[in-house]
Structure 1
C-alpha cells in the first residue's frame, strides 16, 4: 500500500468528509475521491459507506484506520526525534493558539520575539479546537486549561480571569430598569458554554458565537451579556464588566509541546521568553486594573 493513499484515507476517516479531507491536506476533492476508489479496488473491500451525515467506516475500514494510525505515529515519532536534536537558532516554529489570544495580548509578545530572533520563521496557527501536537500540526500550543494533557510537557505561563461583559449603554439601561439580563450563547469552548448555561438558566439562546472576537463584536451591537477573558474584555472601551471576575472561573494559561521537542533550542528559547514576557503582564490576565 502507498503511504499517500493511507494518509488521504486517515483524513477522510477523521473528518467524515471527502471535501473536508481535501481541504485539510490542500488537495483537490477529485484527487481524494479517486484515490479512495483506487484504494478500495486495490484491497478488494469497501472501506467507506456514504451516509446522510457523511462517510462512515466499514469494519474493514476501521481495521485499516487502526493500522494506518500506527504507521502514522511511527513516522511522526521518527520525525520528532530527528527534529528534537535540532540545536539551531533558526528554522520554523509553529505556534497554535486562539485568534483572540493571538490578536490581543500575544501579538506584541510574538513580534518582540521575532525581532530578537530574526532567523526563526514563526507560523501562528489559530483555531478554537485543540490542534494535535503528537501529529505535528504545531510545535507549541498555548492553551487555557486547568488540566493539561499528560502526554505533553511544558509550563504554566500565568492565570487568566473571566468576567461577564456587556456594552455600556445596555448595562446602563439594565441598571436603570433593574431588569434581568439577557445572555448571548457562546460555544467557543466548554468552559464558556457551561458558565453561560449556569448563569442564564436557559437552554436556548437567540444568538450564538463560537469565537471570542465575534462575541466581543456581538456585545457591542446587541443587548446581552457574555463571558470574556478579562484580558480581552478590559481592553475594549465599548464594553464594561457586569460583575467582578469569579476566581472559580480562573483558567491556567499553558505553553505545551511534545516531549520529543524538549531539547530543541528554539522551543526552549521560546518557552523561556514567554515565561518572562507573560510575567510582565500577569496583572492584565488576572483583570487587575
Structure 2
C-alpha cells in the first residue's frame, strides 16, 4: 500500500454505508471518498464493496480487510494518545467535551476561571450529547451524564443529576385545573409526572426550559438547569426523581498529562462547590 490513510476512507464507508455520508463524517468531498476507496481496491487487487439497495456492503474480502483496518486504526490512536500523554507542559491544546446545557447553566464561570489560571492552554470545547470517543482522542477530557462510563476511562462521579418538577411563577399564579405538560423528548420525562395534558415536546433542554420560563406549562428538568434559573420555581411537594450521574473522565493513557491533570482537578473542585445545586439539595 502506498497510502495507509486510504484505510481511513475505507472504514468511514464501512460505517456510513454511503459515500455521501462518509464524506460528511470525514469533512471532505464525495469525489475524494470515491477516489480513495477505488485507489485502495486497485492497490489490493480486489473489490472491497458491493452496492445494494441498502447502500455499500462489504465483500468477503472487504470483511477480512476490515479486521486489519480496525487494528491499524486502534494502533494509530494508541500512538496518538502516547504522544499526547508524554507532553510535559501546561501550554498547548486541550479538548473538553460536555453537554452544552451543562456548560451554560452550571460550568461557564468555572471554565472561565480555568482559562484565566492557565492562559497558555488552548481549550477547545466540544458541546455534544454523545460520549466522545476517548480511545480515538475525539476529546481529552469528557464530562458526561451516564450511569456506566467505559472501562478504559479514568475519573470519578462528581454528582448525581436528578430531575425535579418546575414551572414559572406566572404559570403557578394562574395555574389551570388541569396542568399543561411540557416534556423533553427523553423517556423519563415524556409521560406527565402529575395529572396534566401533554402540551409541548422538544429534544432540547434549553428549549424546554424556555417554554417553562414563559409560563406555558409545567415539566421536569435536571436540577442543574432548574435550580439555576431565577424565573423557574421548583414544586417542593414532589420528590426528586433519580436519573443520571455526572462523571469527569479521561482515557487511562492520558491521566498523567499535565494539562489533562490540571483540568480534571479543576473540575473536581468546581463540582464540589456546586454539587448541592446540581443534586437539588437545600443548603442548611
For the 8 Å contact 1:171–1:242, the answer to whether it is kept is no
> Please, which runs of 5 or more residues in structure 1 have no aligned partner?
187-192
* Residue 281 (structure 1) aligned to one of 269, 274, 278: 274
Per-residue CA shift, 1:221-242, capped at 9, x if unaligned? 6845443211112333343335
SS in 2 for 1:136: coil
For the 8 Å contact 2:182–2:212, the answer to whether it is kept is no
**Are the structure 2 counterparts of residues 104 and 79 from structure 1 closer, same or farther at C-alpha, using a change threshold of 3 Å?**
same
For the 8 Å contact 2:93–2:122, the answer to whether it is kept is yes
**Are the structure 2 counterparts of residues 69 and 214 from structure 1 closer, same or farther at C-alpha, using a change threshold of 3 Å?**
farther
Q: Give the corresponding residue for 1:49.
A: 51
Does residue 1:258 correspond to 2:251, yes or no?
A: yes
Q: Give the corresponding residue for 1:116.
A: 117
Per-residue CA shift, 1:126-183, capped at 9, x if unaligned? 111111001110001101122222121112222223213344444554x441x15434
TM superposition score normalised by structure 2: 0.85
* Residue 271 (structure 1) aligned to one of 264, 268, 283: 264
**Are the structure 2 counterparts of residues 207 and 176 from structure 1 closer, same or farther at C-alpha, using a change threshold of 3 Å?**
closer
- Structure 2: how far apart are the matches of 1:216 and 1:48? 47
Higher mean C-alpha deviation, range 89-98 or range 230-239? 230-239
* Equivalent residues, number: 277
Task: Please provide the CA RMSD for this pair.
Answer: 2.7
SS in 1 for 2:152: coil
Does residue 1:229 correspond to 2:222, yes or no?
A: yes
- Structure 2: how far apart are the matches of 1:142 and 1:218? 26
1:81, CA displacement in angstroms? 1.7
Greater strand share, structure number: 2
**Are the structure 2 counterparts of residues 88 and 30 from structure 1 closer, same or farther at C-alpha, using a change threshold of 3 Å?**
same
**Are the structure 2 counterparts of residues 236 and 11 from structure 1 closer, same or farther at C-alpha, using a change threshold of 3 Å?**
same
Give matches, 1:18-37, under 5 Å.
18-37=19-38
Q: Give the corresponding residue for 1:77.
A: 78
1:90, CA displacement in angstroms? 1.0
Higher mean C-alpha deviation, range 2-11 or range 115-124? 2-11
For the 8 Å contact 2:90–2:258, the answer to whether it is kept is yes
Per-residue CA shift, 1:60-92, capped at 9, x if unaligned? 433332221111101111221222222211111
Q: Give the corresponding residue for 1:190.
A: none
1:267, CA displacement in angstroms? 1.1
SS in 2 for 1:143: strand
1:26, CA displacement in angstroms? 2.3
TM superposition score normalised by structure 1: 0.83
Per-residue CA shift, 1:82-111, capped at 9, x if unaligned? 222222111111001111112221111111
Give the number of the structure whose alpha-carbon radius of gyration is greater.
2
For the 8 Å contact 1:185–1:206, the answer to whether it is kept is no
For the 8 Å contact 1:163–1:244, the answer to whether it is kept is no
